[in-house]
Amino acid sequence: MSRELTYAEAIREAIDLAMARDERVFVVGEDVGVYGGAFGVTDGLFQKYGAERVRDTPISEAGIAGVATGAALTGMRPIAEIQFMDFITLSMEQLVLQAAKLRFMLGGKVQVPLVVRTPAGAGTGAAAQHSESLENWFVHVPGLKVVMPSTPADAKGLLLASIEDPNPVIFVEHKLLYRTKGVVPEGDYITPLSQSEVKRSGRDLTIVATSLMVVRALEAAVRLAEEGIEVEVVDPRTLKPLDAEPIVRSVCKTGRVLIVHEACKTGGFGGELAAVIAESEAFDYLDAPIRRLAGLDIPVPYNRELERRMTPQVDDIVAAARRLVREAR
Amino acid sequence: MDDQFADLPPARLQDLLHQMMLIRAFEEAAEQLYLQGMIHGTMHLSIGQEGAAVGACAALRPTDYILSTHRGHGHCIAKGARVDQMMAEFFGKETGYCRGRGGSMHIADVSTGNLGANGIVAGGVPMVAGVGLSIQMQRQDRVALVFFGDGAANEGAFHESLNMAAIWSLPVVYFCENNQYAMSMAIARASKIERLSDRACAYGIPGVTVDGNDPLAVYRATREAVERARSGGGPTLIEARTYRWKGHSKSDKQRYRTKEEVKQWQERDPIARLAQQMIEASILTEGDLATLQARVEQEIIDAIEFAKVSPEPDPATILEGVYA
Ligand SMILES: Cc1ncc(C[n+]2csc(CCOP(=O)(O)OP(=O)(O)O)c2C)c(N)n1
Ligand SMILES: [Mg+2]
């Protein structure tokens, strides 16, 4: 059975299911209890599971990451919430130097099954310190998995997979996706990590997009189809470990690839994707250079129009795709 | 003038009253404009906490620095900023203090020594030690005061900063606005100690708790801390107990507190309190108060008009403001 849920509801359902069947799973973070989370994602879980398992913390992001890491190391399955991805900068040491490395450093004798959920992204007028998309910082760290769902169903399925995973997972949500709706299967529904998915097929151009940009790319694809341009949209869903095969296969088919993400272009995940494609057999099939469309290399501005221009919009994707199908190598 | 008014002359007291009223009116207007869709994003209102901002800044000189918080409109006005440029910033206009790039959460007026609000809880707390160090190394006659909330005192950086300022005797004042909550987290759930100012003793510096809704008590405590800092006596931790009347931000259902509690605190309005004290001492009349109110209202009308007619930033300048 399936029904429509919002992205936020789908995440909540996944947490609820995991908590109901596994005593080790607990939620820890700022205002996750009575308040229900800054974006309402954990709403109602406190009433159902109580203060011990839906645990409010002081404003201590290093502490939250540490508590989650220590608990995961010794038999629990914490789901930590970092209220905005920007604040994960305060958690970095415990996540990057401890959680990510413990298993390796201790010769494989321990596991750190922790999930850090955190909302990224601009578009809410919250300016430079509440709008970051920092996923690629974590992609760079061996020992972390990085997941970025674009649909409610993926959000549920990937979160359940992340909770079951024995490794630390950085689970990056998007603020503008929380209210988007989609069909979500009921019950135990798992979307395995590291499976890229073709969200729409087409022959002229591949768009590889992440998170909110998948939604925008699909909208762009509808408009481009009206002009006779058939776009294939591939969503990696798990950035690391990346399932490159569907991406490479798609580029081999279309010969053209546009990579779209919201994070700043320089040092963003697009560079990694471009390299993966360039190093693969798809290189020989490319009819045009690999192109990236990404956030401008500036902090997110407050002004509405500047903020809009800072991140790729549907119009920008349409324009970039149009240019690319006309381009030759 | 006797000590009831902390040695402040009547004209200065009227200034403080005016500032508190201006902060209140500014925030009430900003909230309305937000609800009308004229201002976007979010904002954190300090309505009810004006006594802390104004009392603290009254003890500072124009050349002294402040570092502010996400709930920083009051600090900004109290340090001397213009409400028209603030309002223009809220509207995202080029004439705003941050040229429309920062908005409510990053409002700053460097010209009056306000180094900025902060989107990050405790974001200014470690930085203030650097500002203090800079003052000390340049042998300047300045003090740096950092505002932060009760919630911010639980960030690790708070402890690092206090310790560094303490060991180096930096000219810094740590000013905690304890408004009883960090979003939904009541202070009693977030800390085992009853007085946050007790944390000062862990760093070997003075700590003091004051009634944050009594602007003159706040002024007195801050004046003492500022004098100590200025004369090489090092930092002080001040805890001002106050209360925010409004929700945390624009998306707060306030399930963590009762209406009765809010009402009780509203009866301790810092503005009404100072006005009443002054009227009782015959240094303010009801007529003066009405005149002040009219002046404040006009200032807000003018600020909104300025913001409305101001130009938007030129999109061609979008990449400006970063060197890399
Ligand atoms: C590092 C960081 N963590 C969390 C937040 C989200 N947040 C913004 S304000 C706030 C509560 C702050 O409480 P307090 O310091 O007491 O200040 P108040 O809001 O009460 O003025 C929270 C959790 C943030 N902005 N920065
Ligand atoms: Mg507070």
Pick the CATH number of A197-326 from 3.40.640.10, 3.40.1360.10, 3.40.50.10320, 3.40.50.920: 3.40.50.920
Tell me whether domains A2-185 and A197-326 share a fold.
Answer: yes
- The closest-lying atom of ligand 1 relative to the alpha carbon of residue A90 is 1
Helix (H, G, I), strand (E, B) or coil at A86: helix
A-interface mutation test, from B90, B120, B148, most A Cβ less than 10 A away = B120
- Predicted pLDDT at B121: 98
Q: Quick one: tokens of A39? A: 């974006």
Q: How far is CA B235 from the centre of its chain?
A: 19
Nearest CA to ligand 1 atom 8: B121
Q: Quick one: tokens of A28? A: 């820890």
The pocket of ion ligand 2, defined by CB under 5 A, consists of: B 149-151, 179, 182
Q: Which residue of B has its CA nearest to A311?
A: B318
Residues 6 or more apart in contact with residue A104 via CB below 8 angstroms: A142, A143
Q: Quick one: tokens of A135? A: 């996923």
Q: How far is CA B278 from CA B1, B4, B11, in A?
A: 12, 10, 11
Which residues of chain A lie closer than 8 angstroms to B101, CB-CB? 127-128, 299, 301-303, 306
Q: Which residue of A has its CA nearest to B321?
A: A298
> Residue B137 phi/psi, 5° resolution?
-70, -30
What would the DSSP string read from start to end of A152-166? Answer: HHHHHHHHHHHHHSS
How far, in Å, from the CA of B46 to the mean position of ligand 2? 10
Count of all residues that appear for chain A in the document: 329
Taking CB atoms and a 6 Å cutoff, what residues make up the pocket around ligand 1? A 30, 59, 61, 83, 87, 90; B 44, 70-71, 119-121, 149-152, 179, 181-183, 248
Averaged confidence pLDDT in chain B: 97
- Predicted pLDDT at A206: 98
Query: Catalytic residue at A130?
Result: yes
Helix (H, G, I), strand (E, B) or coil at A67: helix
B residues 14-73 near A, CB within 8 Å? 40-42
- Predicted pLDDT at B2: 57
Q: Give ∠ CA A4-A9-A15 in degrees, rounded to 5.
A: 125
- Does pLDDT of B1 surpass 60? no
If you average pLDDT over residues B306-312, what whole number do you get?
A: 98
For B57-85, how does the pLDDT look when each residue is reduced to its tens digit (9 = 90+)? 999 999 999 999 999 999 999 999 999 99
User: What's the average pLDDT block by block, 10 residues per block, for chain A (329 residues)?
Assistant: 94 98 98 98 98 98 98 98 98 98 98 98 97 98 98 98 98 98 97 98 98 98 98 98 98 98 98 98 98 98 98 98 91
CA distance, residue B113 to nearest chain A CA (Å): 22
B residues 283-312 near A, CB within 8 Å? 312
For B166-224, how does the pLDDT look when each residue is reduced to its tens digit (9 = 90+)? 999 999 999 999 999 999 999 999 999 999 999 999 999 999 999 999 999 999 999 99
Is B183 close to A35, i.e. CB distance below 8 A? yes
Q: Give domain limits for chain A.
A: 2-185, 197-326
What residues does B207 pair with on adjacent strands? Answer: B237
Is B105 close to A130, i.e. CB distance below 8 A? yes
Q: If pLDDT is split at 50, 70 and 90, which confidence band does B250 have? A: confident
Q: Quick one: tokens of B195? A: 């007085």
The domain A2-185: what is its CATH number? 3.40.50.970
CB-count burial class (<10 Å; 0-12, 13-18, 19+) for B250: middle
A33 touches chain B (CB under 8 A): yes
- Predicted pLDDT at B3: 82
- What is the C-alpha to C-alpha distance for residues A170 and B237, in angstroms, rounded to an integer? 37
- What is the C-alpha to C-alpha distance for residues B54 and B13, in angstroms, rounded to an integer? 11
CB A39 within 8 A of CB A181: no
Residues 6 or more apart in contact with residue B110 via CB below 8 angstroms: none
Measured from the Cβ of residue B227, the count of other Cβ atoms closer than 10 Å reads 13
DSSP element (H, E) containing B146: strand B144-149
Percent of chain B with pLDDT over 90: 98
- Predicted pLDDT at A196: 98
State which amino acid sits at residue B122.
A
- Does pLDDT of B238 surpass 70? yes
CB B73 within 8 A of CB B291: no
Looking at all shown ligands, the one closest to residue B183's CA atom is 1
To test the pocket of ligand 1, the residue of B27, B47, B121, B178 to mutate (highest count of ligand atoms within 8 Å of its CB) is: B121
If you average pLDDT over residues B247-266, what whole number do you get?
A: 96
- Which residue ranges form the domains of chain B, and what is each CATH number? 3-306 (3.40.50.970)
- Predicted pLDDT at B147: 99
